[in-house]
Amino acid sequence: MDWKNLIATVVGTGMTQKQIAADVGCSSAYISSLAMGKRGVRVSYEIGVRLVALRDRCMASGSSHSQVLSAAESP
């Protein structure tokens, strides 16, 4: 998986790296490292699944990050 491009896609929807980190349950420093290509050869399964799900929500909604986040919080 190309984590660098995945994160760029999510950031392109208006989310910050800090918001991405909060959503997937990791540090913003980790997201920053993935975005710069310094990490990412081995991402934990849980973080990877959450990043892909976040990207999919962003792409499916075609809307702002606040709408994506509020949709994730809904039961």
Provide the Cα torsion 59, 65, 66, 72; round to 10°.
Answer: 50
Distance from C-alpha of 13 to C-alpha of 40, rounded to nearest angstrom: 21
Tokens of 21: 């980190």
Contact 73, 23 (CB under 8 A): no
Query: Is it the case that residue 4 has pLDDT exceeding 60?
Result: yes
The tally of domains found in the chain comes to: 1
Q: What pLDDT does 21 receive?
A: 97
pLDDT in tens, 16-45: 999 999 999 999 999 999 999 887 778 999
In CATH, what number is assigned to the domain containing residue 8? Answer: 1.10.260
pLDDT in tens, 45-63: 999 999 999 999 998 877 5
Parent domain of 34: 3-73
